[in-house]
Structure formats: structure tokens, C-alpha cells
Structure 1
């Protein structure tokens, strides 16, 4: 596994973590030099790491030149209609470019697949793997108490890193609408800021 500088280097029997590259530098050559002996490269895409510039498309082109098979998991696809701010308006163009360059694309939702298909990505190369979560047998009452949530009522949950492009305001609008029919309902935002984000952002 090639990870960002600062990650803990690990070397075990069939698993290795190699810290190299930095999201603030040109990481393409650093990654290429650390994956000489691999056949398949699986990239976990996240806007905060790969940004909207040309480095990731360049990496994917280089991998193709080196005959490496590429899989990219795109965790978040912001539709053009919901994008806010000039940078986020580039989100669809960014995912279109990287999805077109990859051999296979993994997304978590049918709606994400539909966006990629609308952008011209062939359906047969898009695979849906629902976002995994650890299931718990803990009693609902205990969980709510531990998380400081009300014992009664319905809980709506939004999870993942908090970013402006996640449109949390949409969740608040939905909460308002749900409250018209379900009086005792709460919105629980589970997670926090992405690595490297300032509290101000």
C-alpha cells in the first residue's frame, strides 16, 4: 500500500505500507517508483487528497502506459446541480476524467452510478459496493446513552467527513420536512473534519 508521507510504515508477510508522496507536491513520480512490481493499482479517491488538478489524471495515464490495471473507488460524487463555489463546479468534470481513465470504477450508490453513466462512463465498468459499516448488537438504549442522544424518537444520520461540498444544509432541509410528519426526530452528524482540514474551513 502506497500512503501519504507521515503514514506509519508497516512491513508484514503479505502487507506493506510505504509512505511516499504528499498531496501538496507532485506525487506522480513518487507513486510510480514505488509500484514497479504490482499488476493492479486500486486508488481510493477523495477530493481533499487528490484535489481537482491534473496530477491524478496524469498518474492514471502513466499507469496505463506502464500496463498497470487500475481500479478507482470514488467515494463522493457531487452532481453539478448541487455543487457550490467555483472549485466544486469542477467536481463532475474531475470524476468524469478519472473514471474514463480507470479500467474499473467503484462507487457506493446507484445515484453515483447514474451520474457517471450520464457523464458517458460505460455502465459495465462501474461497480456498486455499498459503504461498509460495522454492525453492533448493542442495545439501542445503551447506544443512544453513550452517544448522548435522546432515548425516544427517530434519528436521521449523516456520516463522513464534514466538508462544504457535502451539502449538510440539505440534511437540515430534509429534517424540517420530516418534522412535519414525525414530531420527535433528530439529526445526528457522525464524524468530523477530514485530515489536514482547519477548523475554520
Structure 2
């Protein structure tokens, strides 16, 4: 991921006067969606504002790094008193603005995170918190939190989120209806919550290897880290229906288990067994290791259909959805809050995640109906352009300016992104 920063920023000397942005987040080498998000956001901020410097304060097992404009500062967190550890590490960066990438699987849902925000406020650090997941008192699915011991049992989660809103300078969320409006209803002030979409990577032509399925051999892709809520068993049921009429079809699955416990391994094995029992085992490819970025980008670009049919009620955004959008893929997703963006631009690409027949029928129409395929691809391309990382970075810079007045939009370089 550090190579990404070097490729975007280049080797120029740092500006004489810099605005220091300190991101608090997981980071490489952690295999984590938040870590990847932070890498892309940091690179985009540096590219959009030539006077910015970005430091990542991270509890991940990262090595210290400093190339003049981008730095990595490991912060040892013992699990019981992380607020003081992180506050000290942040203070040493002398930030103009602090931006915390919040996820319950990282910070928990007890008094420690509000205590961290209070410590930063006392230190005079303007603080933005991106809440990558928002819960309500009716939430069931925990997102990635379950793998780190997070539980909603005994937690007044709406009161906890209200406390975050009271202590942060501003809160950023990725969706309006499913996230921002939920926080406002819970008591977070309306003007304290900003909606900024998840960014979309637009690979430059020739950046990644080009791959395509041979004519008549449809390629269906179900990417991402695997857990039971990703609904692979339903995807395989649907694929068996699709393959009955298309014996040359292939299903490529991102099967990397971040938490490879006995239950997770048993679930993955049961899905592979199901494919063999359905007679499509030889048409299934499961990648059980982390997928390198060029390989993932090639797979998404080559896919005839990308499946994101998660059975989750999580109020969050999907990084994989945005990776697929940037690759130009047609995405079929669950009719769930996580995919609100897709519902707003093309509701016909959403399915009930418990109905493999519905999923198969939609995928077959995408494969067979040229007019329908062209019609649904157009709004996806518009969504990809509207959420390109340079656009998202500029929205963040404007948000920071609300807390750091000397960083007014008129004092920043003109946008460089053409929208292509």
C-alpha cells in the first residue's frame, strides 16, 4: 500500500507550508477493508492538495515509515487503555486535523472511544470521525466486529453513537438514508453529520493485466473476504441454475478467511461440497489466500456479473462494490441497507439474498439481454465517476476546512480530476 502513495504523490520535495492530516486507522499489513480504505484516502488527499502531509497512526503491526509527505506511526495498543496511547501518538504528529476511521471491530462499543475523543478535544485537535458502520437498537449483524469479539449484548448502541457525535467535531458516513438519517434520529445534531460516499478506484488504462472470459464462457465473480453472511451457499445454488444452461460458465470466489476458525473453515468446505454435489464443482474457483490487487482488478474487469448478495443488515458501505464499479463491472447486490447507493441508481440490480432463483434469473438476463445490460451499465458508470477518489478527497478537504478555518477551499490547489 505504501507503493500506492509513492506512485500517486511522486518524489517531489514537500511543500514549505503544509497542512498536517493525521489519520487514525488500521493499515497494512493488516488484511482489512478499513486499512485499504485509509490507503486510498490518504493517497487521494495528497494528490488533491499539494500542501498536505498525511500521517497514519495505526494499531496495526506496521513498520514506521516517512517519505516526507506520508508517514506511518505505529501506536501500541494494549486493549484496555488505548485512548491514552493513541492520544499521545496523535499529539506527537502536531495535527491540523485528526480523522479517525471508526469501526466497532477496532474500537469496541464501550466508554474508551468517547474518552479518546474527549482527550483529543482537550488537546485542541479538530477531530473528524468516519463511522464505517452505524447500528440501531434493532441491529443483528455485526459486520467485521464479530471476529474481534464485539457484541451488542448489553450495549446501548444508540446512546454510544450519540456520545461519539457529541464529542467529535464532525461525523462522516457513507450513506444518507441508512446511516446519516439513523444517527440524526438517535440524537446526533443534523449539522454534525456529513455524507461522503466511499471512494471508487479508476485504474489507469494498462495499469492492471487485462483478462476476459472466452466467448461463450461467462465469468461470474463473488469477490471479497469470506464469512457466512457473504452468502456463498446461495451464490452456489444460483450458479448451479445458471450453469445448467451454460456448462462453460465459471464462478470465481474470493474465499480468503480472515478468521479461519473451525466454524468458518467448515462453512467454506460445505460450500465447495455443495458445488460438487450440484455438478458444478469443476466450474468453481475458490481463492483461499489474499488476492493481490492486480489479480482482483483483472477478475472484476473480466466478470460478466459480480455478485455482492450478502445477507447482512449492516448499515455500512461496500468497498468491493466500489472496486467493481471502478472496473466497469455490472454488480448484482442484496436488497439491504449496505447497498443503498445501488438502489438509488438502479434498483433492478438488487435481489432478495435468500432467493437463489431470483439471483439466477437476474444474472441470466444480464448475460442474455444486450439492451438490458447496456441500460443498467450506464447508471453504474455514472455512480463510479461521481464517487471517484479525487472527488471524495475534495469532499473530505472541504469537511476538514469546517474545523480548520485556515484551510479554506480558496487556499487549496484547483482540482485536477477531469471526471473521465
Given the two structures, how large is their TM-score scaled by the length of structure 1?
A: 0.72
Q: 1:116: how far off? A: 0.9
Q: Comparing 111-120 with 146-155, which one deviates more in the overlay? A: 146-155
Structure-1 residue corresponding to 2:182:
115
Distance 1:89 1:179, change over 3 A: farther
The CA distance in 1 between the partners of 2:62 and 2:303, in whole Å, is 42
Deviations 1:70-96 (A, max 9, x none): 100000112222336643854333222
Find the structure with the greater CA-based Rg: 2
Deviations 1:144-163 (A, max 9, x none): 6384538998654157xx9x
Structure-2 residue corresponding to 1:124:
191
Deviations 1:148-182 (A, max 9, x none): 538998654157xx9x8749x986x8234684597
SS of the counterpart of 1:97?
helix
Q: Is 2:225 aligned against 1:47? A: no
Distance 1:178 1:165, change over 3 A: closer
Cα RMSD after superposing both structures: 3.8
Structure-1 residue corresponding to 2:90:
35
Given the two structures, how large is their TM-score scaled by the length of structure 2?
A: 0.37
For this pair of structures, how many residues does the alignment match? Answer: 182
Structure-2 residue corresponding to 1:18:
73
Distance 1:124 1:146, change over 3 A: same
The CA distance in 1 between the partners of 2:304 and 2:219, in whole Å, is 13
CA contact (8 A) 1:154 1:184 kept: no
Unaligned runs of 5+ in 2: 1-55, 142-150, 222-249, 253-301, 316-333, 337-350, 365-420
The CA distance in 2 between the partners of 1:96 and 1:156, in whole Å, is 34
Unaligned runs of 5+ in 1: 187-201
Distance 1:152 1:124, change over 3 A: closer
The CA distance in 1 between the partners of 2:114 and 2:95, in whole Å, is 19
SS of the counterpart of 1:71?
strand
Structure-2 residue corresponding to 1:157:
308
Alignment map for 1:36-185 (pairs within 5 Å) = 36=91, 37-83=94-140, 86-87=152-153, 90-110=156-176, 111-135=178-202, 141=213, 145=219, 147=221, 148-149=250-251, 155-158=306-309, 166=314, 174-176=352-354, 179-180=357-358, 183-185=361-363
Structure-1 residue corresponding to 2:58:
3
